[in-house]
Amino acid sequence: MPAPTYSRFPQGLALALGLGLIAGCSNLSLSPYRIDVRQGNLVTQEMAAQLKPGMTRDQVRFVLGTPLLADPFHTERWDYVYRFKPGYGAAQQRRLTVFFQEGKLARVEGDVVPAGTAQPDGADPAKLPPADAAAEPAPRP
């Protein structure tokens, strides 16, 4: 009894269609959806403008929220860090550091500058002006 012969036409057609579909889809640039990632505390210029020297820790926490970093070894310093990574594009980061002296707000440093505090003499606008014009600024650690 002779061996049965199978037609290779259906297998060849399926293979040709499959390769055609794969090749046709290779020109499409399909990429997954990437979400925007926001991390940390967003501190705005308006929030930074509300900070005044001599404020207590509770008042600062009320204005800015709970700090992202409250180091037990540097209890007089709070760090507010905000990072925004869009799905497609470069990441952006903002940082605001609040320094206390004897439990009272001494100075603020970082990228978030209170609105309207630009100083023409080149002084750092992120530092808070002293409450009294005759008062000396706090020394840096």
Q: What is the pLDDT of residues 67-94, one digit of tens each?
A: 887 788 888 999 999 999 998 889 999 9
pLDDT digits (tens, 9 = 90+) for 1-45: 666 666 666 777 777 777 766 766 556 667 788 899 999 989 999
By residue count, the chain amounts to 141
Report the range of poorest mean pLDDT among 47-51, 84-88, 122-126, 131-135: 131-135
Q: Which two tokens stand for residue 96?
A: 């605001």
Judge whether residue 136 has pLDDT over 90. no
pTM value is: 0.59
Judge whether residue 118 has pLDDT over 60. no
| Average pLDDT over every residue of 45-70 | 91
Burial of 23 (0-12, 13-18, 19+ CB in 10 A): exposed
Give the residue among 117, 122, 71, 133 at the shortest CA–CA distance from 98.
71
